[in-house]
A = this chain, B = another copy of it.
Amino acid sequence: MVSASAASTSHPSELQAPINKTAHEFDKTTLDALLARRFFFAPAFEIYGGVAGLYDYGPTGSALQANILDAWRKHYIIEEDMLELDTTIMTLSDVLKTSGHVDKFADWMCKDVQTGEIFRADHLVEAVLEARLKGDKEARGVKEEAVVEEEGADKKKKKKKNVKAVAIKLEDSAVAEYENLLAQIDNYTGPELGEIIRKHNIRNPDTGNEVSEPVEFNLMFESNIGPTGQIKGYLRPETAQGHFVNFARLLEFNNGKVPFASAQIGRSFRNEIAPRQGLLRVREFTMAEIEHYVDPLDKKHARFNEVKDVLLTLLPKDVQTEGRTETTQMTVGDAVAKKIVDNETLGYFLGRTQLFLEKIGIDPKRMRCRQHMANEMAHYAADCWDFEIQSSYGWIECVGCADRSAYDLTVHSVRTKQPLRVQQRLETPVTVDKLEVTFDAKAFGMKFKKDATMIKETLLGLEKDKLQCIKDELVNGSSSVKCSDGKSYDITPDLVKIEPITVTEHVREFTPNVIEPSFGVGRILYSLLEHSYWAREQDKARGVLSLPSVVAPIKCLIVTISQDNELRAKIHEISRLMRKRGIASRVDDSSASIGKKYARNDELGTPFGCTVDFASLKNGTITLRERDSTAQLIGKIEDVIDVVDALVKGIIDWSGASQKLEAYSGVQDVEE
């Protein structure tokens, strides 16, 4: 039976329009305002004026980040029994000297000679030349904006300082030269950038002043450990070195066997010269890094089959070196079979990462795997792919998947004289052809004095192919050895002999190779926010963050239709029941209208909302609202909580929920 009074105790459903997430063009200003208003993040020490490149996460941003990290931990660490680590941020300078960071982790900067304003040299050259090219096109009346974007959007857009183009026509030869310079901008050394700056009269675009010669600026924050000031430390620029220095203990923990992986989530620091672009280029950030140790002769992966059909969007290096950016869709299996991706383990992590990013809500159409070009890759790396995610800042590297070969473990082992190697008992002994190095101890010592030991150890530690080269050179009279002090030492056949020998080995010893997937959590988080954001068709100001419930800061909103005391008591009861089930819910018992409360939670990305009305008291029912569609269902309190639990756990989706609960029309029967 339907009675008028009963109907009036229920609440009206919202005006439902079909979901149209692209009704309004993306508007970064409105998104930024939403993110500030709902305190996802804000400049650190804002009340003190802030400092570029440092951001604090508020309650929503922290929860979103915690949920992303929780999903990451389950997807990688738990699923694959990785060995988690938590190592120090403050790092002894020796460690980072060995890894190469003290000498090479630097950018080139130059200064406005009058004002002292500081620029990253490559960014300055890029911005000025691009502006000149743009001005040239304007002067020629060519409307080539789209093409410029297509070519430039990849790496250019993410860095450039905004320089106003002035319509001045250039010589044809200058246009060609500028375009050539820009295409190779990542390849220049500091002195080369200095030459370009002088040759092309590149100045501070704001003041017109000259800029100084580029000087190297190390991006690590430096500090001193202890009261004497004698122990130098740096804030780590990555968590990876913390894994490598613990390799011996990790290997022992894993019973001496590879493959295995260590994983770490933690803060890292880079003292950027001129950070811009919000969360995308910051001085302090959370990383999640995996170091997977494999036998260099066997980079197969036991679970490769599970990901072989995962579809990747690839931008291989040869396409890029031809100056093109079009991508290819290909399965992980094919990419490895065709040797586009170097090996199974690297392919496995590309597939797993594709799945992870999709799971947390990154739009697969705005995600690609870009391979590093030869000149871009670290000299020791065997292959490297970046997951780039597209946002309003262009295509940004968010995850790097690199095969670091044996580089890190080797350099730390050489420097510390600790054997960071795996010993593998061979089922059947093998005979191996080796090169044996012998020394004329006395002559050698006389010649090299205090350096003798270092040179000896370096020679004894060389791989066979390197030794063969030296042997070949010695036949011609002399060779040289490069040691860890950076110097080369000449050796001659009277000092060192290298002879082939055959030995029987019962144990194989090797330095594992490292495959490293490395995640920039803040970059992923920000990209996700852009991908999730849209505005309701009827009102551009009504923003929605369509975050998947696995990462949404709050899973369920609980509200009443009025401030009635009995209803308010009911929502706190429901809140307790949800908490018991481990569902992150939030009561809103403010005096705002129900429409305002829904709108607020759309902005927070809360996927579900339970509403208590007077029918709840009579029938024990509540309604359940879905964020994106604003559709509503109704059911008994316990049933609704069961459904929310299943929705949040991903056991059912909304259409599954619709089969378990009744549709709600805004008017309901109340049994008297």
Contact = CB atoms under 8 A, between A and B. Distances in A.
Determine chain A's interface SS by DSSP, over half rule: mixed
Q: Which of A242, A266, A267, A412: most chain B CB closer than 10 A?
A: A267
A147 interface: no
A61 interface: yes
Contacts of A252: 39
Interface in A72-94: 78-79, 81, 83-92, 94
Contacts of A131: none
A283 interface: yes
A273 interface: yes
A577 interface: no
Given A223-B222, A227-B273, A245 B45 contact: yes
B88 A246 contact: no
Interface in A417-439: 418
A225 B48 contact: no
A225 B62 contact: no
Given A65-B86, A283-B90, A81 B586 contact: yes
Contact of A284 (B90, B116, B231, B579): B90
A393 interface: no
Contact of A88 (B44, B62, B86, B94): B44
Interface stretch (A51-59, A355-363, A503-511): A51-59
A63 interface: yes
Contacts of A412: 47
A271 B225 contact: yes
Contact of A271 (B87, B227, B284): B227
B84 A62 contact: yes
A47 B88 contact: no
A56 B246 contact: yes
Given A62-B86, A223-B221, A51 B92 contact: yes
How many residues of A sit at the interface, in one of the four size bands?
Answer: 35 or more
A66 to B, nearest CB: 7
A79 to B, nearest CB: 7
B84 A63 contact: yes
Contacts of A267: 89, 266-267
B226 A89 contact: no
A34 interface: no
Nearest to A120: B227
Contacts of A46: 245-246, 249
A85 B109 contact: no
A98 to B, nearest CB: 8
Nearest to A59: B83
Nearest to A63: B84
Nearest to A417: B47
B39 A58 contact: no
B86 A249 contact: no
Interface string A575-589: 000010000101100
Interface centre among A45, A66, A79, A81 (most CB of B within 10 A): A45
A62 B85 CA distance: 6
A557 to B, nearest CB: 13
A95 interface: yes
A83 B310 CA distance: 38
A359 to B, nearest CB: 16
Q: Which 10 A-B pairs have the closest CB atoms?
A: A59-B83, A57-B86, A56-B87, A62-B84, A47-B416, A62-B86, A44-B88, A47-B418, A221-B223, A45-B92
Given A45-B245, A54-B90, A225-B271, 18 more contacts: A39-B250, A44-B87, A44-B88, A44-B91, A47-B245, A51-B226, A51-B231, A57-B86, A57-B87, A58-B249, A62-B85, A66-B84, A78-B584, A86-B286, A89-B284, A116-B228, A118-B226, A227-B273
28 contacts: A44-B88, A44-B245, A45-B92, A46-B245, A47-B248, A48-B94, A48-B95, A51-B226, A51-B231, A51-B233, A54-B88, A56-B87, A56-B246, A57-B87, A58-B249, A59-B85, A66-B84, A81-B586, A89-B89, A89-B267, A90-B221, A90-B283, A221-B224, A222-B224, A223-B235, A224-B271, A255-B590, A267-B267
Interface of A: 38-39, 42, 44-48, 51-52, 54-59, 61-63, 65-66, 78-79, 81, 83-92, 94-95, 109, 116, 118, 217, 221-228, 231, 233, 235, 242, 245-246, 248-250, 252-253, 255, 262, 266-267, 269, 271, 273, 283-284, 286, 412, 416, 418, 579, 584, 586-587, 590
